A and B are shown apart, each in its own frame.
Chain A
Amino acid sequence: MSIEVRNLSKRLGGKTILDHVDLEIPEGGLVALLGPSGSGKTTLLRVIAGLETPDEGEVLVRGEASTAQRPQDRNVGFVFQHYALFPHMSVRQNIAFGLDVKPRAQRPSRDIIRARVDELLALIQLDSYGHRLPAELSGGQRQRVALARALAVEPKVLLLDEPFGALDAQVRAELRQWLRRLHDVSKVTTVLVTHDQEEAMEVADTVAVMNKARIEQVGHPRDIYDHPATAFVARFVGQMNQLHQVPGGTAFARPHEMELSLDPAAGEPAQVVSLLAMGPLARLRLQEASGRELEVQLGWERLAQLQLKEGSPVYVRAGRVQILQEEYSI
């Protein structure tokens, strides 16, 4: 189900939370809303869900305005950061909730509901946990139950609000891949809110970077990394070296775009401050004479050629420089 967000604005207590936001989410896509906290990404998700009403603008689902619909009529699946499971209900009852509350005419029979719950329990790999209470599950298991509960009603759209934010790193990485596979199979249009750029880049096929109530850039993760549209995106997504100010902006280069040499003519003088060589890539931190620090990534072979150690002098230049405009705010 394609979603179109048009000219959406929302203010709360004199503060602008969404500022004329436009976004198109293609049918079957997996879009990540990426941004620091307070950038408006969760509010945008909640407006799409119908949990918040915008002051201006509209949300179109397959070309139809959904802004006037009540949340319970929108058929969206929503997953909260802190799971929001119903604590007094078993895992099965939680998953079946969306089917149980349907009006009698639309409610599937008990047998069909039971079969559907079994199917979802298998999908989230918690087959034998159906009778447990949420309090008896780990965080990762609870979030899987929350996903199954959202999927039970076969939503047109799946909205995830920092779904892995409360989990530890390893579980987070596992669930991320699981979500990606799930999406590849189910093809439900999905919007994921996250402040973790690695998560956004790994899972989504489109990333929308938000900052200060606006969307700064929308694109494929690779394009956002290689061609950031603004200085904010350049700094927020991936590691970036800030080189120098030029008229009209700042010059940036990625660590892997830095070139090192022992030839004084090949760049600015610098000193290796720290060096971490693990696997095929080495990560170096250099300090220039001006005191500015630079991050550099080198191939293992090039490192061996240069024979660098901590404290070695070296000459550095940027292979590719991008000039990006700073935003000016008073």
Chain B
Amino acid sequence: MSEPRVPALGVGEPRWLRWSLTALTVVFLLVFLVLPLVNIFHAAFSEGWRVFMASLHDENAALAIRLSLISTVSAVLISGVFGLAAAWLLGRHRIPGHGFWVAVLDLPFAISPVVAGLMFVLLFGLGGWFGPWLDRHGYQLIFAKPGIVLVTAFVTFPFVARELLPLVQALGPEAEEAAKLLGASPWQTFWRVTLPALKWGLLYGVILCASRAMGEFGAVSVVSGHIRGETMTLPLHIEAVYNEYQFGAAFACASLLSLMALVSLGLKSFVGWRARRERESA
């Protein structure tokens, strides 16, 4: 979130170079980023407003949207709580193998989401380590909703932890020590001193986490089992209807997903700006 400050443009560069570089960048951004996005919305409405609305009101689409929201909220809660705990543990205490654990935080980013999904199938699937035990007790994770939540949380885990770790380190232990010496319990210290200092960073991490969770495809695809109206998230639903040549419906749902992405992008910029402002005034 620490976006580098861009220096004033072109000190001493010849004018033609400045203009051609600017033009190149603008054209690139338009063709590769803006045009495809605009085109999604264009395609979504190409068969008319009624087809668009019908595609979103379709029972399977509605269930997919619902499941996507549920798994996003759950993943955000899981990686929010554990990310905060991990950042605090690694930022505040010298545990054995410190560097190793910091590197492990990034594991979900390094591993392909498909592989991440497979890992969970191997652990919790019927042929896996814990699968048979879970099955005997009447629980099913793989090819069911809990599995989707689990892999989404796994894939998005680093966002909050990574965002908070440098903040916890920069905050230092002194404010917490001061609170403790003034008689505050550990709980009071956390809620009144630690958390307020981290709140913008936490929110930023949560937004990154949520936007990734909404769009997650690979890992979810592996553990979902693609049961219509049952284990289909919005991205999976889009792929399914697209493969059935229902382009209008596919693009309608895709435009909804894009819209959510744009909203989270806007929120992210706002929160990032607030966080920077707070840091600069501290």
Q: Does A80 contact B (CB under 8 A)?
A: yes
Residues of B within 8 A of A86 (CB): 175, 178-179, 192-193, 196-197
What is the CA–CA distance of A98 and B184 in the complex, to the nearest angstrom?
Answer: 7
**Does A87 contact B282, Cβ atoms closer than 8 Å?**
yes
Q: Given the known inter-chain contacts A51-B181, A80-B178, A97-B179, please indicate yes or no for A88 contacting B188, CB distance below 8 A.
A: no
Instruction: Report B-chain residues with C-beta under 8 Å of the C-beta of A150.
Output: 182
Q: Are B282 and A101 in contact (CB under 8 A)?
A: no
Check: A203 CB closer than 8 A to any chain B CB: no
Interchain CA distance A188-B192 in the complex, whole Å: 28
Determine which residue in B175, B182, B282 has the highest number of CB atoms from chain A within 10 A of its CB, and name it.
B182
Task: Judge whether A101 and B181 touch: CB under 8 Å.
Answer: no
The smallest beta-carbon distance between B62 and chain A, in angstroms, is: 42
The docked-state distance in angstroms from the alpha carbon of A71 to that of B188 is 14
> CB of B177 within 8 A of chain A?
yes
Is B174 engaged at the interface, CB distance under 8 Å to the other chain?
yes
Assembly CA distance A74 to B183 (angstroms)? 8
- CB-CB under 8 A from A84, the residues of chain B are 174-175, 177-178
Indicate whether A135 reaches chain B with its CB closer than 8 angstroms.
Answer: yes
Tell me whether B281 is interfacial, beta carbon within 8 Å. yes
Whether B181 pairs with A49 at a CB distance below 8 angstroms is: yes
B193 contacts which chain A residues (CB < 8 A)? 86
Query: In the complex, which residue of chain B has the Cβ closest to the Cβ of A93?
Result: B192
A101-B188 contact in complex given A51-B177, A51-B181, A72-B181, C-beta closer than 8 Å = yes
Contacts of B184 in A (CB 8 A): 72, 97-98, 101
B18 at the interface (CB under 8 A from A): no
Which listed residue (A49, A87, A101) contacts B183, Cβ 8 A?
A101
Please determine whether A87 and B182 come into contact, CB atoms closer than 8 angstroms. no
With A72-B183, A87-B197 known as contacts, the answer to whether A101 contacts B192 (CB < 8 A) is: yes
Say how far A23's CB is from chain B's closest CB, in angstroms.
20
A150 to B181, CA, bound (A): 9
Encoded as 1 (CB less than 8 Å from any B CB) or 0, chain A from 89 to 129 comes to 00000000110011000000000000000000000000000
Report if A135-B182 is in contact (Cβ < 8 Å); known contacts: A82-B174, A84-B177: no
A243 at the interface (CB under 8 A from B): no
- B251 CB, min distance to chain A CBs, angstroms: 45
B185 CB–A CB distance under 8 Å = yes
B180 part of interface (Cβ distance < 8 Å) = yes
Flag if A135 contacts B181 (CB, 8 Å).
no
User: Could you count the A-B residue pairs with CB atoms below 8 Å apart for me: how many are there?
Assistant: 69
- Contact present for A88 and B185 (CB under 8 Å): no
Q: Is the CB of A78 within 8 A of B183?
A: no
Interface size class of B (residues with CB under 8 A): 10 to 19
Contacts of B182 in A (CB 8 A): 72, 97-98, 101, 149-150, 152-153
A133 within 8 A of B: yes
- Please state if A72 and B185 are interface contacts (CB–CB under 8 Å): yes
Counting chain A residues whose Cβ lies within 8 A of the other chain, the interface size class is 20 to 34
User: In the complex, what residues of A have CB within 8 A of residue B196's CB?
Assistant: 86, 88
Q: Which residues of A contact B281 (CB under 8 A)?
A: 133, 135
**Contact across chains for B197 and A88 when beta carbons are under 8 A apart:** yes
Mark interface residues in B231-266 (1 if CB within 8 Å of A CB, else 0).
000000000000000000000000000000000000
* In the complex, A77 has a CB within 8 A of chain B: yes
Are A101 and B178 within 8 A (Cβ)?
no
Check if A44 is an interface residue, CB within 8 A of chain B. Answer: no
Q: Give the docked Cα–Cα distance between A218 and B108 (Å).
A: 58
Of listed B175, B181, B196, residue having the most chain A CB within 10 A: B181
- A72 touching B180 by the CB < 8 A rule? yes
Alpha-carbon separation in the docked complex, A133 to B178 (Å): 17
CB neighbours of B185 from chain A (8 A): 72, 101
The answer to whether the Cβ of A193 comes within 8 Å of any Cβ in the partner chain is: no
CA separation between A153 and B178, bound complex, in Å? 13
Cα of A72 to Cα of B178 in the assembled complex, Å:
10
Does A135 contact B177, Cβ atoms closer than 8 Å? no
Q: Are A80 and B197 in contact (CB under 8 A)?
A: no
Q: Does A76 count as interface, using CB distance less than 8 angstroms?
A: yes
Considering the chains assembled together, what is the distance between the CA atoms of A102 and B182 in angstroms?
9
Contact B180 A71 (CB under 8 A): yes
- Taken together as a complex, chains A and B put the C-alpha atoms of A82 and B180 apart, in Å, by 17
A71 touches which one: B174, B175, B181, B192 (CB < 8 A)?
B181
CA distance A76 to B197 in the complex (A): 24
Task: Report chain A residues within 8 Å CB of B183.
Answer: 72-73, 75, 98, 101-102, 153
Residue of A nearest to B176 (CB): A84
- With both chains docked as a complex, state the minimum distance between the C-beta of A250 and any C-beta of chain B, in angstroms: 41
Segment 159-209 of B: residues with Cβ below 8 Å from A: 174-175, 177-185, 188, 192-193, 196-197
Complex: A78 Cα to B179 Cα, angstroms = 10
In angstroms, Cα B192 to Cα A284, docked, is 57
Q: How far is the CB of B275 from chain A (nearest CB, A)?
A: 13
Once the chains are docked, how many angstroms separate the CA of A88 from the CA of B277? Answer: 13
Q: Which 8 A-B pairs have the closest CB atoms?
A: A98-B182, A84-B174, A101-B184, A84-B178, A135-B281, A88-B196, A78-B181, A87-B282
- 14 example contacts (A-B, Cβ-Cβ < 8 A) are as follows A72-B181, A74-B181, A75-B183, A78-B177, A80-B177, A86-B178, A86-B197, A87-B197, A87-B282, A88-B196, A97-B179, A101-B182, A101-B185, A135-B282
Residues of A within 8 A of B (CB): 49-51, 71-78, 80, 82, 84-88, 97-98, 101-102, 133, 135, 146, 149-150, 152-153
